[in-house]
Amino acid sequence: MAKFKSCYFIKHILCSFLLIFSSCTNLPFSTGDITPSSATTPSKTSSQFLSPIVSITPAVVTEPAEIHPLALNEGNIYKIENLSAFGSPNRYCIHSAIDTALETRFINGQVEYLLARTDFENRNIQIWDLEKEVDLQTFKIENVDSVVFSPDRRTLISFHRYGSGTLTLWDIESGNLKREVVIEPNHYYGERIIISQDGSRIAVFSCLYNAVDCRVSEFNLQTNQVSYADYFFPLYGETPPPYIYSPSGNLVSITYNNDNKLHFLDLTNHKDTILEFPFSNLNEIAMAEAVFSTMAVSSNETYIAGGAENGDIYLWDSAVGTLLKILKAHTTQRGDGWSGAIQILEFSPKSNLLLSVGYDGFTKLWDAKTGILAKEINTCHHFGGFTQDGRYLVTVGGKGIEVWGIP
């Protein structure tokens, strides 16, 4: 990233000079709302939840104290460009995305961009400073399935699903192990953990060993207690439903039910919205491979995105569940008893820009408002994510760690 500093510094000098005579401003990506389509609004039904989602509070995103030393490329969304590439490349295209995590933190008024990356060959987790392009810290660990940064900006949390489900908390500065916590014995756990915005809860998909009573459980890091969402998820194949914490902090999920409908569940507030969907029963869904493996909610919570195993991305109006668009995004890949298409789906925290990372070797950026493909990167990435200030896209894959400027 450092080698791009000089050219971008010159660009800012020129930009400042031009301000004397005209205007020279960044053109941030529009954050306008989606206009619902004219499709008929689906009727609400109640399964285990009774009330529909009625009011959604937009997330508040704190601006950085000052502009990061790396200047951004100016212009519109179609000028997203690569600022740097460093670190060792990954050997394999089909690789787990959840063993990598991204963090933006502010130390003494300065912004730092950190990336946690698991190195399975050397059995460790590396913390990278993306601006300095250096490995800040390395944690030795035998087994890890998923990693997340704690919102306290000082702790990295790794998860190992087997046994009783073990959470390990690491101190980023010292590299020391802070503590290990076993979630609960006699359970099967999914690979992925997510952390609440306040850092108090870890959510993970779990079932009893007999593969019944499958729910999203939350582990409270302060009390060491486990609580379960009041909803039992039917498993279709071995694909757990996608679940995330929304920008307002609610635990949400997309799932099918025995009523042959697609549900958007607010598990925190016990609310259920039926999502409009072009399939009438589970057999049609299975034939179309329209089972969802990823999801995202926009920063202002006006719409929902779901990534299906057939490679399509579905966009809904979050208030009423109207289907707005279907994006033909990625091609399904198949292996030894395995298939998948989209491994990452994420909205920019500052705009309607939607990121999708596919197993097909393509990373794509979409204008979610119009459905237009804004950028396509033909490099095999297993991870992609926006920095929390929305200024950069960070990818990890065949060219190592890459940083992209977002205008």
Q: What is the pLDDT of residues 65-95, one digit of tens each?
A: 332 333 333 334 445 666 666 666 565 555 5
Query: Which of 397, 298, 401, 402 lies closest to 96, judged by CA?
Result: 397
Any idea which residue has 């500052």 for tokens?
350
Cβ contact 160:145 at 8 Å: yes
Query: Which of 213, 216, 260, 218 lies closest to 242, judged by CA?
Result: 216
Q: Residue 15: exposed, middle, or buried by beta-carbon count in 10 A (0-12, 13-18, 19+)?
A: middle
Amino acid present at 322: T
The pLDDT of residue 328: 95
Any idea which residue has 């306008």 for tokens?
32
Cβ contact 389:350 at 8 Å: yes
Rounded-to-integer distance, Cα 349 and Cα 31, Å: 10
The pLDDT of residue 228: 87
Query: Average pLDDT for consecutive 10-residue bins of the chain (407 residues)?
Result: 40 36 33 34 34 28 31 42 64 59 82 88 88 91 90 92 89 93 87 92 87 85 89 75 95 90 94 94 89 94 94 95 96 82 93 92 92 89 90 90 88
Q: What is the pLDDT of residues 332-349, one digit of tens each?
A: 988 777 788 999 999 999
Rounded-to-integer distance, Cα 157 and Cα 174, Å: 14
Query: Which of 241, 209, 200, 207 lies closest to 217, judged by CA?
Result: 207
Q: Can you give the length of the chain in residues?
A: 407
Q: Residue 269: exposed, middle, or buried by beta-carbon count in 10 A (0-12, 13-18, 19+)?
A: middle
